[in-house]
Amino acid sequence: MLWETLSTARDIGRLNELVSVLIRYGFGDSAAQTGFGKYI
């Protein structure tokens, strides 16, 4: 259970990085349409 929690926390961090890069390079509309914009 602890390992699953740590893995989930790491995945959320990766998702945040991915969305930040998309928005930085002009894909903010795509991120907003997919719903990932709310995770930043």
Query: Could you tell me the pLDDT band of residue 36, with boundaries at 50, 70 and 90?
Result: low
pLDDT in tens, 14-33: 888 887 887 788 776 776 77
Give the span between the Cα atoms of 39 and 13, in whole angstroms: 10
**Average pLDDT value for the chain:** 75
Its pTM surpasses 0.85? no
| CA angle, 33 then 37 then 40, to 5° | 175
* Enclosing H/E stretch for 8: helix 2-24
Q: Considering only 8-12, 21-25, 28-32, 36-40, which range has the smallest mean pLDDT?
A: 36-40
pLDDT at 1 over 70: no
Query: Could you tell me the pLDDT band of residue 11, with boundaries at 50, 70 and 90?
Result: confident
> Cα–Cα distances in Å, from 4 out to 7, 18, 27, 37?
5, 21, 31, 24
